[in-house]
Amino acid sequence: MNHSLYSKFVLGYLLFGLLGFVTIATLSSQMVHRYLIERQADRMYDDASILAGQLSSMYNDVSQDLETTSAQVEALSQFIQSDIWVVDPNGTIIADSREDGTKNQVIADFNPTAIGNRSYGIGNYYGLFPYDVISVSAPITGNYNTYGYVLVHSPVSRLVPEQNRILNIVYITGLILFALSLIILLVFTKTVYFPLRRITVGANEYASGNLTYSIKVDTQDEMGYLAATLNYMSSELNKLEEYQKTFIANVSHDFRSPLTSIKGYLEAILDGTIPPEMQEKYLTRVISETERLNKLTQGMLTLNSLDSKGYLSRTNFDINRTIKDTAASFEGTCNAREISFDLTFSDSILMVYADLGKIQQVLYNLIDNAIKFSHNGGVIYIQTSVRREKVFISVKDCGIGIPKESIKKIWDRFYKSDTSRGKDKKGTGLGLAIVKEIIQSHGENIDVVSTPDVGTEFIFSLPKASASNL
């Protein structure tokens, strides 16, 4: 994989290590060098001040030559391992700790204030050294007079061994930290790169149409959650694909049957197979099949609008009145089969907050199903009740019931039980699917309880109209 995330991460890690090492080496070298010089300068100044104090006491009320201090200067020089000069105010070196020193030499352009108080200078000190030295100056004072200066010089190169020792420690520590940081790379590889690679492979499989592929990432983190989400998505897409195949097959079957009948009847009328005196009968059947096609089309359009999350036109209405009006529309069918209604309401007026048109469709489909599967002379029980802020509507018949193995399937689109196919060829298999979609679009639930040869009861809920909606 060219320019993969992992290769970029490794490259970034190596660049970070290289730049980090260079930065540490550069800054550490400068900081250590400065620290050692300042420390050495402080020590040298302290020693120079002590010597200057000792020398200044020799001038209290006594005029004395500074040459008598040479032995003391040499002793201190050996102790601090630095060159010590005693200089008069004019810049003449009157004492030098070196055997081949510059005693009695005059420092050209001598300026004792150039270094400043408790400070230091770095260089060849007016060209008197062939190498760079650290130089400090301490005045010899007494009786408000300056009798001279103590100058202490130490080669800068003398600090190199100690500087190298410190830098070696810094470099070794940096390398150890860089090596230990490999753990971060290993952790990243195991917890991020490998799972991400599996997810990428899975995504490519899904893109190629293999929706049965499962991504094996079981970690309890974002990668595991992403893998689980993709697995769930592929499972749902696979189900959707299977549903689409089933949907197309069902639509083809349900449309083909009435169209075949319509075509057959019309061809028979045209070629004279059906005599004129019977044409009215078969034309009535053609109209019936046309109505069946229309119901099927309307049902599919309704489901499509529900799938697209169409807006609900919620209003407050009396559910009891709606039930009465819907039941009354089946009067002709019920009278023909001697089926009656038993309506039981908890209150004379029971207001709900829902889409009136869609709830009428729910009631129509449930009552239509109840009549379809009821025995002649049966009773259909419809009840309403209130529990807390919910209104529950029950539609119950005393008909043939639903087999246990079919309970979970009745909500599927185009599903028809063998019993329904035998009794009613006009069913579309969309009624209960529409009912469930409408109820769920209201944020409510619908349940079914059925016993074969005893009857079936559908119970759904609706929100009770609140005072703010009235």
Could you give the domains of the chain? 5-175 (3.30.450.20), 222-304 (1.10.287.130), 312-463 (3.30.565.10)
CB 343 within 8 A of CB 327: yes
Digit-by-digit pLDDT tens for the chain (470 residues) are 455 667 777 787 788 878 888 888 788 888 988 999 999 888 888 888 888 888 777 665 454 455 556 667 777 788 888 888 888 888 888 888 877 666 678 888 888 776 655 578 888 888 888 899 999 988 888 777 888 888 899 999 988 899 889 888 888 888 888 888 888 878 878 887 788 888 888 888 888 888 888 888 877 777 888 888 888 888 888 877 776 676 666 566 557 667 877 888 888 888 888 888 888 888 887 887 787 677 667 766 665 665 555 567 889 999 999 999 888 888 878 888 899 999 999 888 999 999 888 888 889 889 988 998 899 999 999 999 999 889 999 999 998 888 888 787 787 766 666 544 334 445 556 778 878 888 988 889 999 999 888 899 999 999 998 765 55
* Cα–Cα distance, 76 to 40 (Å, whole number): 16
* pTM, two decimal places: 0.46
**Residue 342 DSSP symbol:** E
CB 59 within 8 A of CB 73: no
Residue-wise DSSP of 76-140: HHHHHTSEEEEE-TTSBEEEESSTT--TT-B-TT--TTTT-TT--EEESTTTT-SS-EEEEEEEE
